[in-house]
């Protein structure tokens, strides 16, 4: 299968990453089947896509006609059987290996034999995930950055069994979305998160040890290193549960104490303060403007 005969793309998960991937695929001309565990989640994903495309129209990034045509290409798929004819299926479920394996087992039972499976995992071994499917040679990591419609980079990661044809098809597909590719080896957290998450974890240690408060740390990195967002603000945006799971993958996968998740990060996750999505993390988002929680 070459890039020219990928016509339809299945996206499993209609949350932040999934709806972003569906958004860029539909704008690039692909028929997209958007799946999630409940119809309400699919509906919410479609509403987000609609809003984000409307914003692109307002900024003259796309035309109103582009938006209408792209939205018409996205079909809700309430079951994985509805993805059976897709040429490529991209999984964007929660960053838990057992959840992903369960999805792949169900998906492989209905998916046509020559279809490619891509995973948007940000840290889990592609080789290990591929081995749990019936097509390790047609399995590949296609890791988009958040928010997908805005961020230009996609990491492409081969597992040990991924075929050259699958790799070339995945690269060509990502190219049609107007994204730039970084090819990463299949090591824990790949490139971006291997560098970014330990930096965020270090910022949390800096807070934990009382070197600076939330505001001082974020201001220091925004103005002192020209980061568009401070590391603690960014952690809230990513989700503290996601930050913790990536650090755990790094710590377990590389067995190096420098990747030990900060106890304060663990405490926030235990409290259910996961950042923006729960209205509280290193900042409290319940008022008119975010207020530091430490």
The answer to whether the CB of 177 falls within 8 A of the CB of 202 is no
Residue 14 clears pLDDT 60, i.e. is over it: yes
CATH number for the domain formed by residue range(s) 3-184: 3.40.50.720
Q: What percent of the chain has pLDDT over 70?
A: 99
Query: Rounded to an integer, what distance in angstroms lies between the CA atom of residue 28 and that of residue 22?
Result: 10
From-to residues of CATH 3.40.50.720 in the chain: 3-184
Angle between helices 39-58 and 16-27 (to 10 degrees): 60
pLDDT at residue 41 above 80? Answer: yes
User: Active-site residue among 123, 155, 184, 201?
Assistant: 155
Both structure tokens of 291 = 């207020």
- Burial status of residue 169 (CB atoms within 10 A of its CB: 0-12, 13-18, 19 or more): buried
Residue in the block written with tokens 């800096």: 206
pLDDT at residue 5, rounded to an integer: 75
The residues of the chain that CATH labels 1.10.1040.50 are: 192-292
CA angle 167, 169, 175 (to 5 degrees): 105
What band does 239 get if pLDDT is binned at 50, 70 and 90? very high
- Per-residue confidence at 95, pLDDT binned at 50, 70, 90? confident
Mean pLDDT score, 213-233: 98
For residue 118, pLDDT over 70 is answered with yes
Q: For the chain, what is the mean pLDDT?
A: 96
Alpha carbon distance, N-terminus to C-terminus of the chain: 53
Q: Give the model's confidence band at 1: pLDDT under 50 very low, under 70 low, under 90 confident, else very high.
A: very low
Known catalytic membership, residue 213: no
Residue of 193, 201, 233, 245 marked active site? 193
- Which value, in Å, is the radius of gyration of the alpha carbons in the chain? 19
Q: pLDDT grade, residue 4 (50/70/90)?
A: low
Query: From the candidates 19, 120, 122, 125, which is the catalytic residue?
Result: 122
pLDDT tens sequence across 123-144: 899 999 999 999 999 999 999 9
Q: Does residue 175 surpass a pLDDT of 90? A: yes
Catalytic pick among 91, 143, 233, 245: 143
- What integer is the mean pLDDT of 173-196? 97
Res 2: pLDDT: 44
What's the fold here for domain 192-292?
Answer: 1.10.1040
Known catalytic residue at 193: yes
Instruction: Clarify whether 132 is annotated catalytic.
Output: no
**What tokens does 167 get?**
């790799």
Task: Check if the beta carbon of residue 248 is closer than 8 Å to that of residue 260.
Answer: no
Backbone angles phi, psi at 45, to 5 degrees: -60, -45
């Amino acid at each position: 299968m070459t890039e020219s005969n990928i016509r339809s793309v299945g996206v499993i998960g209609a949350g932040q990453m999934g709806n972003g991937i569906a958004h860029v695929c539909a704008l690039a001309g692909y028929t997209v089947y958007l799946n999630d565990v409940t119809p309400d989640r699919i509906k919410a994903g479609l509403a987000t896509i609609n809003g984000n495309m409307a914003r692109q129209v307002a900024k003259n990034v796309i035309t109103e006609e582009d938006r209408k045509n792209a939205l018409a290409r996205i079909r809700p798929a309430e079951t994985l059987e509805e993805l059976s004819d897709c040429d490529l299926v991209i999984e964007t479920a929660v960053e838990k290996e057992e959840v992903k394996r369960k999805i792949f087992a169900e998906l492989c039972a209905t998916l046509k034999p020559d279809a490619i499976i891509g995973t948007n995992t940000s840290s889990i071994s592609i080789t290990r995930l591929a081995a749990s499917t019936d097509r390790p040679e047609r399995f590949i990591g296609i890791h988009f950055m958040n928010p997908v419609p805005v961020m230009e980079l996609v990491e492409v990661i081969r597992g040990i069994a991924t075929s050259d044809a699958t790799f070339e098809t995945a690269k060509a597909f990502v190219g049609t979305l107007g994204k730039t590719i970084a090819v990463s080896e299949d090591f824990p957290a790949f490139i971006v998160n291997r560098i970014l998450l330990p930096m965020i974890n270090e910022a949390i240690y800096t807070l934990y040890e009382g070197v600076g408060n939330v505001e001082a740390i974020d201001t220091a990195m925004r103005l002192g290193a020209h980061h568009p967002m401070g590391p603690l603000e960014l952690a809230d945006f990513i989700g503290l549960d996601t930050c913790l799971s990536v650090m755990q993958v790094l710590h377990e996968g590389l067995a190096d104490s420098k990747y030990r998740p900060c106890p304060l990060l663990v405490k926030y996750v235990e409290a259910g303060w996961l950042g923006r999505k729960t209205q509280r993390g290193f900042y409290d988002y319940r008022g008119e403007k975010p207020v530091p929680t430490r």
